[in-house]
Protein backbone atom coordinates (compact mmCIF):
# COMPACT_ATOMS: atom_id res chain seq x y z
CA UNK A 1 0.00 0.00 0.00
CA UNK A 2 2.80 2.40 0.93
CA UNK A 3 4.61 1.59 -2.31
CA UNK A 4 1.45 2.39 -4.29
CA UNK A 5 0.97 5.74 -2.53
CA UNK A 6 4.62 6.71 -3.04
CA UNK A 7 4.44 5.67 -6.70
CA UNK A 8 1.30 7.77 -7.18
CA UNK A 9 2.95 10.78 -5.55
CA UNK A 10 6.03 10.39 -7.77
CA UNK A 11 3.83 10.21 -10.88
CA UNK A 12 1.86 13.30 -9.83
CA UNK A 13 5.12 15.11 -9.11
CA UNK A 14 6.47 14.31 -12.57
CA UNK A 15 3.20 15.45 -14.17
CA UNK A 16 2.94 18.73 -12.30
CA UNK A 17 6.67 19.47 -11.89
CA UNK A 18 6.73 21.95 -14.77
CA UNK A 19 3.52 23.60 -13.53
CA UNK A 20 5.03 24.03 -10.06
CA UNK A 21 8.06 25.72 -11.62
CA UNK A 22 5.78 28.03 -13.60
CA UNK A 23 3.90 29.00 -10.45
CA UNK A 24 7.16 29.61 -8.57
CA UNK A 25 8.54 31.94 -11.24
CA UNK A 26 5.26 33.76 -11.94
CA UNK A 27 4.16 34.09 -8.30
CA UNK A 28 5.08 37.77 -8.02
CA UNK A 29 4.04 38.77 -11.55
CA UNK A 30 1.13 41.24 -11.52
CA UNK A 31 -2.11 39.97 -12.99
CA UNK A 32 -5.77 39.16 -12.32
CA UNK A 33 -6.61 36.76 -9.52
CA UNK A 34 -6.48 33.21 -10.84
CA UNK A 35 -8.40 30.14 -9.65
CA UNK A 36 -6.80 26.70 -9.18
CA UNK A 37 -6.75 24.50 -12.31
CA UNK A 38 -8.75 26.90 -14.57
CA UNK A 39 -6.66 30.02 -13.84
CA UNK A 40 -8.35 33.01 -15.48
CA UNK A 41 -10.05 30.81 -18.06
CA UNK A 42 -13.56 31.39 -16.70
CA UNK A 43 -13.14 35.15 -17.28
CA UNK A 44 -12.57 34.50 -20.99
CA UNK A 45 -14.80 31.53 -21.83
CA UNK A 46 -17.82 32.23 -24.08
CA UNK A 47 -16.88 35.90 -24.39
CA UNK A 48 -17.51 37.83 -27.59
CA UNK A 49 -14.65 39.55 -29.38
CA UNK A 50 -16.09 42.91 -28.29
CA UNK A 51 -16.09 41.81 -24.64
CA UNK A 52 -12.51 40.57 -25.09
CA UNK A 53 -11.40 44.13 -25.99
CA UNK A 54 -12.78 45.49 -22.72
CA UNK A 55 -11.35 42.62 -20.66
CA UNK A 56 -7.80 43.32 -21.88
CA UNK A 57 -8.33 47.06 -21.32
CA UNK A 58 -9.25 46.22 -17.73
CA UNK A 59 -6.16 44.07 -17.23
CA UNK A 60 -3.92 46.89 -18.49
CA UNK A 61 -5.66 49.48 -16.32
CA UNK A 62 -5.37 47.35 -13.18
CA UNK A 63 -1.96 45.72 -13.68
CA UNK A 64 0.12 47.96 -15.95
CA UNK A 65 2.17 47.26 -19.08
CA UNK A 66 3.50 43.92 -17.90
CA UNK A 67 1.18 41.29 -16.44
CA UNK A 68 0.39 37.60 -16.57
CA UNK A 69 -2.75 35.59 -17.28
CA UNK A 70 -3.32 31.91 -16.49
CA UNK A 71 -5.42 29.99 -19.03
CA UNK A 72 -5.71 26.68 -17.24
CA UNK A 73 -2.12 25.74 -16.44
CA UNK A 74 -0.73 27.78 -19.34
CA UNK A 75 1.17 30.94 -18.42
CA UNK A 76 0.60 33.93 -20.70
CA UNK A 77 2.64 37.12 -20.21
CA UNK A 78 1.93 40.50 -21.79
CA UNK A 79 4.63 43.08 -22.61
CA UNK A 80 3.78 46.61 -23.78
CA UNK A 81 6.89 48.74 -23.23
CA UNK A 82 8.58 49.55 -26.59
CA UNK A 83 12.04 48.71 -25.18
CA UNK A 84 10.71 45.31 -24.06
CA UNK A 85 9.08 44.73 -27.44
CA UNK A 86 12.38 45.55 -29.10
CA UNK A 87 14.26 43.01 -26.98
CA UNK A 88 11.69 40.30 -27.62
CA UNK A 89 11.45 40.78 -31.39
CA UNK A 90 15.22 40.98 -31.90
CA UNK A 91 16.13 37.96 -29.75
CA UNK A 92 17.00 34.96 -31.93
CA UNK A 93 15.93 32.67 -29.06
CA UNK A 94 12.40 34.03 -29.34
CA UNK A 95 11.53 33.37 -32.99
CA UNK A 96 9.10 30.53 -32.22
CA UNK A 97 5.49 31.67 -32.54
CA UNK A 98 3.11 31.32 -29.58
CA UNK A 99 1.02 28.20 -29.04
CA UNK A 100 -2.02 29.99 -30.44
CA UNK A 101 -0.48 29.79 -33.93
CA UNK A 102 -0.64 25.99 -33.63
CA UNK A 103 -4.37 26.27 -34.17
CA UNK A 104 -3.60 27.47 -37.72
CA UNK A 105 -1.44 24.45 -38.53
CA UNK A 106 -4.22 22.08 -39.63
CA UNK A 107 -4.86 24.60 -42.40
CA UNK A 108 -1.52 26.37 -43.04
CA UNK A 109 0.68 23.46 -41.87
CA UNK A 110 4.20 24.78 -41.18
CA UNK A 111 4.58 27.49 -43.76
CA UNK A 112 6.41 30.76 -43.24
CA UNK A 113 3.91 32.03 -40.65
CA UNK A 114 3.90 29.01 -38.34
CA UNK A 115 7.30 27.30 -38.87
CA UNK A 116 10.33 27.90 -36.69
CA UNK A 117 14.09 27.30 -36.36
CA UNK A 118 15.88 25.77 -39.35
CA UNK A 119 12.82 25.29 -41.56
CA UNK A 120 11.70 28.88 -41.05
CA UNK A 121 15.20 30.29 -41.68
CA UNK A 122 15.64 28.33 -44.92
CA UNK A 123 12.16 29.23 -46.18
CA UNK A 124 12.54 32.89 -45.28
CA UNK A 125 15.85 33.09 -47.12
CA UNK A 126 14.40 31.30 -50.15
CA UNK A 127 11.21 33.37 -50.31
CA UNK A 128 12.70 36.83 -49.72
CA UNK A 129 13.64 37.32 -53.41
CA UNK A 130 9.96 36.85 -54.29
CA UNK A 131 9.34 40.29 -52.78
CA UNK A 132 12.18 42.07 -54.58
CA UNK A 133 11.19 45.51 -55.85
CA UNK A 134 11.46 44.37 -59.49
CA UNK A 135 8.81 41.71 -58.88
CA UNK A 136 6.69 44.12 -56.83
CA UNK A 137 6.87 46.54 -59.76
CA UNK A 138 5.09 43.96 -61.90
CA UNK A 139 2.48 43.39 -59.20
CA UNK A 140 1.61 47.11 -59.24
CA UNK A 141 0.01 46.50 -62.62
CA UNK A 142 -2.34 44.01 -60.96
CA UNK A 143 -3.11 46.52 -58.19
CA UNK A 144 -4.05 49.03 -60.90
CA UNK A 145 -6.23 46.58 -62.77
CA UNK A 146 -8.13 45.32 -59.74
CA UNK A 147 -8.60 48.80 -58.25
CA UNK A 148 -10.05 49.94 -61.60
CA UNK A 149 -12.58 47.11 -61.36
CA UNK A 150 -13.32 48.21 -57.80
CA UNK A 151 -14.09 51.75 -59.02
CA UNK A 152 -16.64 50.32 -61.45
CA UNK A 153 -18.25 48.23 -58.71
CA UNK A 154 -18.48 51.27 -56.43
CA UNK A 155 -20.68 53.05 -58.98
CA UNK A 156 -23.59 51.04 -57.58
CA UNK A 157 -23.17 52.99 -54.31
CA UNK A 158 -22.55 56.43 -55.82
CA UNK A 159 -24.95 58.85 -54.10
CA UNK A 160 -27.05 55.94 -52.82
CA UNK A 161 -26.46 56.39 -49.07
CA UNK A 162 -24.41 54.34 -46.64
CA UNK A 163 -22.92 50.92 -47.34
CA UNK A 164 -20.42 48.64 -45.61
CA UNK A 165 -17.06 49.17 -47.32
CA UNK A 166 -15.37 46.15 -45.75
CA UNK A 167 -16.83 43.32 -47.90
CA UNK A 168 -16.37 45.43 -51.04
CA UNK A 169 -12.65 46.06 -50.53
CA UNK A 170 -12.22 42.49 -49.23
CA UNK A 171 -13.22 41.11 -52.65
CA UNK A 172 -10.74 43.45 -54.34
CA UNK A 173 -7.98 42.34 -51.95
CA UNK A 174 -8.83 38.69 -52.61
CA UNK A 175 -8.63 39.17 -56.39
CA UNK A 176 -5.24 40.89 -55.97
CA UNK A 177 -3.68 38.21 -53.77
CA UNK A 178 -5.12 35.38 -55.84
CA UNK A 179 -3.69 36.79 -59.05
CA UNK A 180 -0.32 37.74 -57.56
CA UNK A 181 0.10 34.58 -55.47
CA UNK A 182 -1.37 31.95 -57.76
CA UNK A 183 -1.54 33.58 -61.18
CA UNK A 184 -5.26 32.90 -61.54
CA UNK A 185 -8.21 35.28 -61.44
CA UNK A 186 -11.15 34.45 -59.19
CA UNK A 187 -13.03 37.50 -60.50
CA UNK A 188 -14.85 37.74 -57.17
CA UNK A 189 -15.45 41.47 -57.69
CA UNK A 190 -17.39 40.74 -60.86
CA UNK A 191 -19.23 37.71 -59.53
CA UNK A 192 -21.34 36.78 -56.56
CA UNK A 193 -20.15 36.33 -52.98
CA UNK A 194 -16.99 34.27 -52.82
CA UNK A 195 -17.22 30.88 -51.14
CA UNK A 196 -13.47 31.05 -50.58
CA UNK A 197 -13.90 34.26 -48.54
CA UNK A 198 -16.71 32.70 -46.51
CA UNK A 199 -14.62 29.62 -45.77
CA UNK A 200 -11.57 31.66 -44.74
CA UNK A 201 -13.60 33.94 -42.47
CA UNK A 202 -15.41 31.05 -40.79
CA UNK A 203 -12.18 29.12 -40.25
CA UNK A 204 -10.48 32.25 -38.84
CA UNK A 205 -13.35 32.62 -36.34
CA UNK A 206 -12.84 29.04 -35.14
CA UNK A 207 -9.08 29.51 -34.75
CA UNK A 208 -9.50 32.80 -32.88
CA UNK A 209 -12.01 31.33 -30.44
CA UNK A 210 -9.62 28.49 -29.66
CA UNK A 211 -6.96 31.02 -28.61
CA UNK A 212 -8.86 32.05 -25.46
CA UNK A 213 -11.58 29.43 -24.85
CA UNK A 214 -10.25 27.12 -22.12
CA UNK A 215 -12.19 24.12 -23.48
CA UNK A 216 -11.41 24.52 -27.18
CA UNK A 217 -7.70 25.19 -26.46
CA UNK A 218 -7.39 21.50 -25.59
CA UNK A 219 -6.79 19.40 -28.73
CA UNK A 220 -8.43 16.43 -27.06
CA UNK A 221 -11.62 18.27 -26.01
CA UNK A 222 -11.80 20.25 -29.25
CA UNK A 223 -12.22 17.03 -31.27
CA UNK A 224 -15.57 16.44 -29.57
CA UNK A 225 -17.00 19.82 -30.62
CA UNK A 226 -19.09 20.78 -33.64
CA UNK A 227 -16.45 23.39 -34.45
CA UNK A 228 -13.87 20.64 -35.02
CA UNK A 229 -16.04 18.86 -37.60
CA UNK A 230 -16.76 22.14 -39.32
CA UNK A 231 -13.06 23.04 -39.32
CA UNK A 232 -12.14 19.77 -41.01
CA UNK A 233 -14.68 20.38 -43.77
CA UNK A 234 -13.52 23.96 -44.35
CA UNK A 235 -9.85 22.93 -44.48
CA UNK A 236 -10.65 20.15 -46.93
CA UNK A 237 -12.37 22.60 -49.28
CA UNK A 238 -9.59 25.19 -49.03
CA UNK A 239 -6.84 22.63 -49.60
CA UNK A 240 -8.70 21.17 -52.56
CA UNK A 241 -8.86 24.60 -54.18
CA UNK A 242 -5.14 25.29 -53.68
CA UNK A 243 -4.11 21.79 -54.78
CA UNK A 244 -6.08 22.17 -58.01
CA UNK A 245 -4.38 25.49 -58.81
CA UNK A 246 -0.88 24.13 -58.04
CA UNK A 247 -1.41 21.03 -60.17
CA UNK A 248 -2.77 23.07 -63.06
CA UNK A 249 0.02 25.62 -62.76
CA UNK A 250 2.75 22.98 -62.68
CA UNK A 251 1.41 21.46 -65.91
CA UNK A 252 1.00 24.88 -67.52
CA UNK A 253 4.57 25.94 -66.76
CA UNK A 254 5.89 22.60 -67.96
CA UNK A 255 4.11 23.10 -71.26
CA UNK A 256 5.30 26.70 -71.55
CA UNK A 257 8.91 25.68 -70.90
CA UNK A 258 8.70 23.05 -73.63
CA UNK A 259 7.29 25.68 -76.02
CA UNK A 260 9.78 28.37 -74.94
CA UNK A 261 7.24 30.71 -73.26
CA UNK A 262 7.84 30.27 -69.55
CA UNK A 263 5.74 33.10 -68.11
CA UNK A 264 2.07 33.92 -68.41
CA UNK A 265 0.47 36.47 -70.71
CA UNK A 266 -1.51 39.13 -68.91
CA UNK A 267 -4.70 39.96 -70.82
CA UNK A 268 -4.92 43.50 -69.45
CA UNK A 269 -1.38 44.73 -69.95
CA UNK A 270 -0.06 42.25 -72.52
CA UNK A 271 3.14 41.69 -70.52
CA UNK A 272 4.78 38.51 -69.35
CA UNK A 273 5.11 38.21 -65.58
CA UNK A 274 5.28 35.60 -62.85
CA UNK A 275 3.06 34.87 -59.89
CA UNK A 276 4.48 33.89 -56.51
CA UNK A 277 3.41 30.33 -57.25
CA UNK A 278 5.67 30.28 -60.33
CA UNK A 279 8.60 31.34 -58.17
CA UNK A 280 7.81 28.66 -55.59
CA UNK A 281 7.79 26.04 -58.35
CA UNK A 282 11.33 27.10 -59.30
CA UNK A 283 12.82 27.50 -55.79
CA UNK A 284 15.39 24.97 -54.58
CA UNK A 285 16.36 24.49 -50.93
CA UNK A 286 19.45 22.37 -50.32
CA UNK A 287 19.34 21.36 -53.98
CA UNK A 288 15.74 20.09 -53.86
CA UNK A 289 12.60 21.58 -55.36
CA UNK A 290 9.63 22.18 -53.08
CA UNK A 291 6.98 19.46 -53.07
CA UNK A 292 3.32 20.23 -53.80
CA UNK A 293 2.62 20.05 -50.05
CA UNK A 294 5.46 22.52 -49.37
CA UNK A 295 4.10 24.90 -51.98
CA UNK A 296 0.53 24.58 -50.74
CA UNK A 297 1.43 25.61 -47.20
CA UNK A 298 3.17 28.74 -48.48
CA UNK A 299 0.42 29.65 -50.94
CA UNK A 300 -2.26 29.12 -48.27
CA UNK A 301 -0.20 31.34 -45.96
CA UNK A 302 0.09 34.08 -48.60
CA UNK A 303 -3.65 33.86 -49.32
CA UNK A 304 -4.56 34.12 -45.63
CA UNK A 305 -2.07 36.82 -44.68
CA UNK A 306 -2.37 38.79 -47.91
CA UNK A 307 -6.15 38.92 -48.13
CA UNK A 308 -7.82 39.51 -44.77
CA UNK A 309 -5.08 41.73 -43.33
CA UNK A 310 -5.03 44.01 -46.38
CA UNK A 311 -8.84 44.19 -46.50
CA UNK A 312 -8.83 45.30 -42.86
CA UNK A 313 -6.17 47.95 -43.50
CA UNK A 314 -8.05 49.27 -46.53
CA UNK A 315 -11.37 49.48 -44.71
CA UNK A 316 -10.02 51.29 -41.64
CA UNK A 317 -7.95 53.66 -43.80
CA UNK A 318 -11.11 54.59 -45.70
CA UNK A 319 -12.83 55.16 -42.35
CA UNK A 320 -10.11 57.52 -41.13
CA UNK A 321 -9.95 59.42 -44.41
CA UNK A 322 -13.74 59.80 -44.48
CA UNK A 323 -13.71 61.00 -40.87
CA UNK A 324 -11.19 63.80 -41.53
CA UNK A 325 -12.17 66.00 -44.50
CA UNK A 326 -9.00 68.08 -44.40
CA UNK A 327 -6.81 64.97 -44.56
CA UNK A 328 -8.91 63.61 -47.42
CA UNK A 329 -8.46 66.87 -49.34
CA UNK A 330 -4.66 66.78 -48.87
CA UNK A 331 -4.52 63.15 -50.06
CA UNK A 332 -6.64 63.93 -53.12
CA UNK A 333 -4.55 66.95 -54.11
CA UNK A 334 -1.29 65.00 -53.74
CA UNK A 335 -2.59 62.06 -55.80
CA UNK A 336 -4.01 64.28 -58.54
CA UNK A 337 -0.78 66.25 -58.81
CA UNK A 338 1.24 63.05 -59.19
CA UNK A 339 -0.86 60.84 -61.49
CA UNK A 340 -3.11 63.36 -63.22
CA UNK A 341 -6.66 62.76 -64.36
CA UNK A 342 -6.17 59.32 -65.97
CA UNK A 343 -5.35 57.78 -62.56
CA UNK A 344 -2.84 55.25 -63.88
CA UNK A 345 0.01 54.68 -61.44
CA UNK A 346 3.24 52.70 -61.21
CA UNK A 347 5.87 51.97 -58.57
CA UNK A 348 7.49 55.39 -59.02
CA UNK A 349 4.28 57.40 -58.64
CA UNK A 350 3.12 55.35 -55.66
CA UNK A 351 6.43 56.01 -53.91
CA UNK A 352 5.97 59.73 -54.56
CA UNK A 353 2.70 59.76 -52.58
CA UNK A 354 4.43 60.64 -49.34
CA UNK A 355 1.45 62.20 -47.54
CA UNK A 356 -0.79 59.25 -48.39
CA UNK A 357 1.97 57.03 -47.00
CA UNK A 358 1.78 58.91 -43.67
CA UNK A 359 -2.01 58.51 -43.65
CA UNK A 360 -1.77 54.76 -44.22
CA UNK A 361 0.83 54.41 -41.46
CA UNK A 362 -1.26 56.40 -38.99
CA UNK A 363 -4.31 54.27 -39.78
CA UNK A 364 -2.27 51.12 -39.19
CA UNK A 365 -1.10 52.57 -35.89
CA UNK A 366 -4.64 52.94 -34.57
CA UNK A 367 -5.99 49.85 -36.32
CA UNK A 368 -3.12 47.36 -36.82
CA UNK A 369 -4.34 44.51 -39.03
CA UNK A 370 -2.91 41.99 -36.57
CA UNK A 371 -3.87 43.55 -33.22
CA UNK A 372 -2.18 40.91 -31.03
CA UNK A 373 0.69 38.53 -31.77
CA UNK A 374 2.87 36.27 -29.69
CA UNK A 375 6.04 34.28 -29.14
CA UNK A 376 6.82 31.10 -27.22
CA UNK A 377 9.60 30.71 -24.67
CA UNK A 378 11.24 27.40 -25.66
CA UNK A 379 13.61 27.27 -22.67
CA UNK A 380 13.71 28.91 -19.25
CA UNK A 381 15.29 32.31 -19.80
CA UNK A 382 15.35 35.95 -18.75
CA UNK A 383 13.16 38.17 -20.89
CA UNK A 384 13.22 41.90 -20.21
CA UNK A 385 14.48 41.26 -16.68
CA UNK A 386 11.82 38.62 -15.92
CA UNK A 387 12.81 34.96 -15.53
CA UNK A 388 10.21 33.12 -17.60
CA UNK A 389 9.65 29.34 -17.47
CA UNK A 390 9.74 27.11 -20.52
CA UNK A 391 6.56 27.15 -22.65
CA UNK A 392 5.49 30.60 -21.47
CA UNK A 393 3.50 32.54 -24.06
CA UNK A 394 4.57 36.15 -24.68
CA UNK A 395 1.92 38.47 -26.11
CA UNK A 396 2.57 41.85 -27.74
CA UNK A 397 -0.44 44.15 -28.19
CA UNK A 398 -0.01 46.71 -31.02
CA UNK A 399 -3.67 47.77 -30.74
CA UNK A 400 -3.33 48.74 -27.08
CA UNK A 401 0.15 50.22 -27.46
CA UNK A 402 -1.29 52.63 -30.04
CA UNK A 403 -3.58 53.99 -27.34
CA UNK A 404 -0.86 54.41 -24.70
CA UNK A 405 -0.22 58.11 -23.89
CA UNK A 406 3.26 57.27 -22.59
CA UNK A 407 4.21 56.11 -26.09
CA UNK A 408 2.22 58.53 -28.26
CA UNK A 409 1.18 62.15 -27.77
CA UNK A 410 -2.61 62.43 -28.09
CA UNK A 411 -2.81 58.73 -28.98
CA UNK A 412 -6.53 58.67 -29.87
CA UNK A 413 -6.16 61.48 -32.41
CA UNK A 414 -5.51 60.78 -36.09
CA UNK A 415 -2.32 62.73 -36.87
CA UNK A 416 -0.49 61.45 -40.00
CA UNK A 417 2.28 64.05 -39.54
CA UNK A 418 3.49 62.25 -36.42
CA UNK A 419 5.32 59.84 -38.79
CA UNK A 420 7.00 62.51 -40.89
CA UNK A 421 9.93 62.89 -38.46
CA UNK A 422 10.43 59.28 -37.39
CA UNK A 423 14.00 58.08 -37.92
CA UNK A 424 15.33 54.52 -38.01
CA UNK A 425 17.26 55.17 -34.81
CA UNK A 426 14.11 56.21 -32.93
CA UNK A 427 13.49 52.89 -31.18
CA UNK A 428 10.69 54.27 -29.01
CA UNK A 429 8.62 54.97 -32.08
CA UNK A 430 9.75 51.97 -34.12
CA UNK A 431 8.93 49.37 -31.48
CA UNK A 432 5.86 51.21 -30.27
CA UNK A 433 4.62 50.86 -33.84
CA UNK A 434 4.69 47.25 -35.02
CA UNK A 435 1.74 46.64 -37.39
CA UNK A 436 4.01 44.37 -39.43
CA UNK A 437 5.74 42.90 -36.36
CA UNK A 438 9.50 43.54 -36.30
CA UNK A 439 12.92 42.04 -35.86
CA UNK A 440 13.69 38.62 -37.31
CA UNK A 441 10.08 37.68 -38.02
CA UNK A 442 8.80 40.91 -39.48
CA UNK A 443 6.21 40.56 -42.24
CA UNK A 444 7.89 39.52 -45.48
CA UNK A 445 5.09 41.14 -47.48
CA UNK A 446 4.90 44.56 -45.82
CA UNK A 447 6.12 46.48 -48.89
CA UNK A 448 3.65 44.54 -51.02
CA UNK A 449 0.84 45.42 -48.59
CA UNK A 450 1.68 49.13 -48.39
CA UNK A 451 1.84 49.44 -52.18
CA UNK A 452 -1.50 47.68 -52.56
CA UNK A 453 -3.14 49.87 -49.90
CA UNK A 454 -1.81 53.09 -51.46
CA UNK A 455 -2.77 51.98 -54.97
CA UNK A 456 -6.34 51.11 -53.98
CA UNK A 457 -6.94 54.17 -51.78
CA UNK A 458 -5.49 56.55 -54.38
CA UNK A 459 -7.75 55.12 -57.09
CA UNK A 460 -10.82 55.49 -54.86
CA UNK A 461 -10.00 59.07 -53.86
CA UNK A 462 -9.39 60.14 -57.45
CA UNK A 463 -12.90 59.04 -58.33
CA UNK A 464 -14.98 59.55 -55.19
CA UNK A 465 -15.44 61.82 -52.20
CA UNK A 466 -15.96 59.75 -49.07
CA UNK A 467 -18.14 60.55 -46.07
CA UNK A 468 -19.07 58.64 -42.94
CA UNK A 469 -22.56 57.57 -42.05
CA UNK A 470 -23.84 60.05 -39.45
CA UNK A 471 -22.66 59.24 -35.90
CA UNK A 472 -20.88 56.12 -37.13
CA UNK A 473 -18.12 54.66 -34.98
CA UNK A 474 -16.54 51.24 -35.59
CA UNK A 475 -16.91 48.54 -32.94
CA UNK A 476 -13.37 47.21 -32.71
CA UNK A 477 -13.23 43.43 -32.69
CA UNK A 478 -9.81 41.90 -31.98
CA UNK A 479 -9.85 38.64 -33.91
CA UNK A 480 -6.93 37.10 -35.79
CA UNK A 481 -7.31 40.23 -37.89
CA UNK A 482 -8.93 43.39 -36.53
CA UNK A 483 -12.50 43.88 -37.75
CA UNK A 484 -15.40 46.20 -37.03
CA UNK A 485 -18.47 44.31 -35.80
CA UNK A 486 -20.77 46.96 -37.25
CA UNK A 487 -18.85 47.23 -40.52
CA UNK A 488 -17.27 50.37 -41.98
CA UNK A 489 -20.28 52.43 -43.03
CA UNK A 490 -19.39 55.10 -45.60
CA UNK A 491 -21.04 57.13 -48.35
CA UNK A 492 -19.45 58.02 -51.69
CA UNK A 493 -20.06 60.72 -54.26
CA UNK A 494 -18.46 60.82 -57.70
CA UNK A 495 -15.97 63.63 -58.30
CA UNK A 496 -16.93 63.81 -61.98
Q: What is the pLDDT of residue 343?
A: 75
* pLDDT, tens digit, 9 for 90 and up, residues 46-58: 888 889 899 999 9
> Are 339 and 348 contacting, i.e. CB atoms less than 8 angstroms apart?
no
Least confident range of 14-28, 109-123, 409-423: 14-28
pLDDT of residue 305: 87
Instruction: Tell whether the model's pLDDT for residue 75 goes beyond 50.
Output: yes
Identify the pLDDT of residue 270.
Answer: 39
* C-alpha–C-alpha distance, residues 57 and 210, integer Å: 20
Output the average pLDDT for the chain: 88
Gap between the Cα atoms of 56 and 78, Å rounded: 10
Residue 425 lies in a domain: yes
Query: What is the reported pTM?
Result: 0.90
Whether 90 is in a domain gets the answer: yes
Q: Is residue 476 part of a domain?
A: yes
Position 295 pLDDT exceeds 80: yes
With vertex at residue 272, the alpha carbon angle to CA 132 and CA 197, rounded to the nearest 5 degrees, is 70
Range in 74-88, 164-178, 202-216 the model is least confident about? 202-216
Which of 138-152, 166-180, 288-302, 317-331 tops mean pLDDT? 317-331
Quick one: DSSP state of residue 342? S
Task: Tell me the pairing of strands 163-164 and 381-383.
Answer: unpaired
Question: What is the arithmetic mean of pLDDT over 320-347?
Answer: 92
Predicted local confidence at residue 300, as pLDDT: 92
pLDDT at 161: 93
Q: Does residue 17 have a pLDDT over 80? A: no
Q: Is the pLDDT of residue 491 over 90?
A: yes
The domain total for the chain is 1
Q: Which of 374, 376, 399, 394 is nearest to 384 (CA)?
A: 394
**Per-residue model confidence (pLDDT) at position 422:** 61
Mean pLDDT of the 248-260 span: 75
Tens of pLDDT, residues 343-388:
788 999 999 999 999 999 999 999 999 999 999 999 999 999 999 9
For 35, 212, 381, the CA distances from 72, given in Å and listed in that order, are: 9, 10, 22
Q: Tell whether 21 is covered by a domain.
A: no
Per-residue pLDDT at 230: 96
CA distances from 459 to 149, 219, 349, 382 (A): 10, 46, 12, 49
Task: Give just the sign of the alpha carbon dihedral 57, 61, 64, 65.
Answer: positive
In a domain, 401, yes or no: yes
pLDDT digits 0-9 by tens, 264-291? 444 333 344 678 888 888 888 888 889 9
Average pLDDT over residues 381-396: 96
Residue 7 has pLDDT above 80, yes or no: no
Q: Angle at which helices 165-182 and 133-154 pack, to 10 degrees?
A: 140
Task: Answer yes or no: is pLDDT of 496 > 80.
Answer: no
d(CA 437, CA 99): 17
Asked if residue 13 belongs to a domain, the reply is no
Distance CA 20, CA 357 (A): 50
pLDDT of residue 257: 66
Residue 39 backbone phi and psi in degrees, to 5: 60, -125
Any domain includes 26? no
Domain assignment of residue 126, yes or no: yes
- Give the domain range for residue 191: 31-494
Q: Of the candidates 274, 276, 297, which has an alpha carbon nearest to the alpha carbon of residue 119?
A: 297
Identify the CATH number of the domain in which residue 125 sits.
Answer: 1.10.630.10
Amino acid sequence: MLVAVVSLLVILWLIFKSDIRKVQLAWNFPGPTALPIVGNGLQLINKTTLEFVDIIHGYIKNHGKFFRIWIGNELVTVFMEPKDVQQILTDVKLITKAKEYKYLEPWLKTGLLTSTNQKWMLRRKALTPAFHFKILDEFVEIFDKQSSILIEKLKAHDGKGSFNAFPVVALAALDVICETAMGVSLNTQSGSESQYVKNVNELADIVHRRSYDIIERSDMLFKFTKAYKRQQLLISELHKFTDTVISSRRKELKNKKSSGTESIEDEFFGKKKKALLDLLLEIQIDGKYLSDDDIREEIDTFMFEGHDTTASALAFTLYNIAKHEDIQRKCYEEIQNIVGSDGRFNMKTLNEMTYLDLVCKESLRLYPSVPIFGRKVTEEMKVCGKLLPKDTTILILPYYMARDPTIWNNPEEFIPERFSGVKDSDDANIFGYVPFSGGYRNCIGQKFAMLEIKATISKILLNYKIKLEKNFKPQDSLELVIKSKNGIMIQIESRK
